[in-house]
Structure 1
Amino acid sequence: MKAVCATDLSAASEATIESETCLECLGRVGVDEMHLVTVIPSNVHAGMPGMDFEGRRQRALERYRGVIESAGFDVETHVVRGTPHRRITGIATTVGAGITIVGSRGKSPLENRVIGSTARNLARTTETPLLVNRIEREAENPDVVREHLFQRMLYATDFSENADRAFEAFSYLRHATRETTLIHVETPKDPGLREGENPENRLGELAAQLEEWGIETRTELRRGDPADEILGAETTYEPTAILVGSRGHSRLRRLLLGSVSEDIVARADSNVLLIPPSRTA
């Protein structure tokens, strides 16, 4: 599997690259080729005196290449210009990546209301599974918050088609996952449940499939606001990653705040693995 790892060359974005445990986890789920991408924003001009932006970034990526190659991965580097989330998404599509990785320190409650971070924009527009690797928020030399990326999973489902698509990620995650909590938050209208269908039974069916793969599994049914309840379960079970499906990506949707998946990307303390709709959907 090919992975695109986006970096702005900051200390925070180096954390995943420098974590042997994170790289080992990626290898266990099938990643064998890494594409390192750094984007020079469009408003940074090449002609600014004394500023060799491309050269400096390429040299930095070459240092990262050595670390990742020594961990057993094939590595390609990309220094590009443009809008970060658009260029990252474009490269992931071009190379046929199976996952895109971006580091995020998370946001304060006030900052969560602001659109613009690369992680949040990628959450809205990505066409490949997106791993938001959570980095320590205020440390001078930050480290990843959860090194074992997929060891303890929290999978949230509304039983919709795209939630089912997210569950399919366990086909490769199971090689790195030891335990999983399956959670469904009941709302007045559950889009994926037929009338009279029992959500506990549906969770039980999913749990049985994971247990066949040797993954220790628990289920939990909650009521309330989906994002709040999923994040409440995160506090209870302290997963290394939350697995969730996103909705569609119409132009109108990209302008809207408040989707469950975006709330989780912005507010979770754990890593988040976001699975987008099928490209053919």
Structure 2
Amino acid sequence: MRALCATDLSAASKAAIENEACLRCLRRVGVDTIHLVTVVPANVHSGMPGVNFEERRRRGLDRYRAVIENAGFDVEAHVVRGTPYRRINGIAETVHADLSVVSSRGQSPLENRIIGSTARNLARTTVVPLLVNRVERATAEPEVLRERLFRRVLFATDFSENADRAFDAFSYLRHATEEATLVHVRSPKDTDVDAGASPRERLAEHANTLENWGIETQLEVRHGDPADEVLAVEAEVTPSTVLVGSKGRSRVRRLLLGSVSEEIVARATGNVLLVPPPRAV
């Protein structure tokens, strides 16, 4: 598997990329090649006196490269110019990445719904599964908040096609996952009643798959606002990562700021693995 790790060379990025436990987790799920990407914003001019931004970024990536190679990965570095989320998505497609990783500092009381602009835009537009690796905020030397990325996974599903696609990520996560909580939230706005199996029965089908892989599983069926309820479960079970599809059933919601998946990415305490739908051909 190939992972793309995006960095702005900040302390938060350094904490996420150089964390040994995180790197071991990536190895366990099958990642053997890491593409390090840093983007010089288009509005930063290379001709500014005394400053060579590309060279500075390249030296920064070389430091990361040494750490990651010592952890047993093949590494390629990319220093590019442009709009960060667009270039990151473009490189992810070009190198056929299986996973993109971006760090994001955790919440503060004054920024309850705010994440970094690059992480936010990637959550809206990512072309491959996106891991938002949460890092401490308000400290000069931050640490990642959940080192064992996939040890305890909270999977949120509305039983849509893309939620099923997100569940398929367990095919590789299972090599690092020991516990999983499966949650379905029925929103007051849901007026349709699914025929056939109940939500708990449908969750139990997923649980059976995970338990056959040796993953201890528990089920949660909630009623209320989907994002609020998923985040309430996260607070109760403190998973390493919340796994969710980036698009649900609503054709309108996918176009709106504040979708359930975006709310979860912005407000979750720990990491979020966001799985997008297949790209239209």
The TM-score range, normalised by the shorter chain, is over 0.9
2:254 pairs with 1:247: no
> Does the aligned pair in 2 maintain the 1:89–1:127 contact within 8 Å?
yes
Structure 2 residue 107 is the aligned partner of structure 1 residue 100: no
Deviation digits for residues 211-259 of structure 1 (CA, Å, limit 9, x no counterpart): 00000000011110000000000110000000000118xxx86762210
The number of equivalent residue pairs is 280
Q: Which residue matches 1:89?
A: 89
Write the deviation string for residues 12-32 of structure 1: whole angstroms up to 9, x where unpaired: 111122111000000000100
Alignment deviations for residues 73-129 of structure 1 (CA, whole Å, 9 cap, x no partner): 000000000110000000000000000000000344654556861111000000100
Instruction: Tell me the secondary structure at the aligned position of residue 90 of structure 2.
Output: helix
Q: Does the 8 A contact of 1:161 with 1:192 survive in 2? A: no
2:266 partner amino acid? A
Aligned pairs for 1:140-159 within 5 A = 140-159=140-159
Name structure 2 gaps, 5 residues minimum.
none
Tell me which residue corresponds to 1:72.
72
Which moved further from structure 2: 184-193 or 80-89?
184-193
Which piece of structure 1 moves more, 195-204 or 75-84?
195-204
- After superposition, give the CA deviation of every residue in 1:43-72 in whole Å (9 maximum; x if it has no partner): 100110001101111011011000000000
**Which stretch has the larger CA shift, 239-248 or 215-224?**
239-248
Comparing 201-210 with 113-122, which one deviates more in the overlay?
A: 113-122
Residue 204 of structure 1 aligns to a residue in which SS?
helix
Worse-matched range after superposition: 23-32 or 106-115: 106-115
1:40-189 → structure 2 map (5 Å cutoff): 40-108=40-108, 111=111, 117-188=117-188
The one-character-per-residue Cα deviations of 1:154-204 (angstroms, maximum 9, x if unpaired) are: 000000000000000000000000000000001246599733531010011
Q: C-alpha separation between the residues in 1 aligned to 2:116 and 2:33?
A: 29
For the aligned residues, what is the CA RMSD?
Answer: 2.2
User: How far, CA to CA, are the matches of 2:254 and 2:183 in structure 1?
Assistant: 26
Q: Is the 8 A contact 2:107 2:114 kept in 1?
A: no
Alpha-carbon distance in structure 2 between the residues aligned to 1:187 and 1:17: 37
Where structure 1 has 5 or more consecutive residues not aligned to the other structure, the ranges are none
Deviates more, 1:137-146 or 1:95-104: 137-146
Task: Give the match's secondary structure for 1:51.
Answer: coil
Contact 2:245 2:274 in 1 (8 A): yes
| Contact 1:99–1:128, Cα closer than 8 Å, also in 2 | yes
CA contact 1:38–1:57 (8 Å) conserved in 2: yes
**Partner-residue secondary structure (3-state), 1:220:** strand
Identity %: 68
Distance 1:116 1:138, change over 3 A: closer
Tell me which residue corresponds to 1:256: 256
Aligned-partner Cα distance in 2 for 1:10–1:114: 18
- Tell which deviates more after alignment, 185-194 or 44-53: 185-194
Q: Is the 8 A contact 2:180 2:218 kept in 1?
A: yes
| Secondary structure of 1:148 counterpart | coil
- AA partner of residue 260 (structure 1): V
SS at match of 1:12: helix
Distance 1:192-1:47 versus aligned 2 partners, 3 A rule: farther
TM-score normalised per structure 2:
0.94
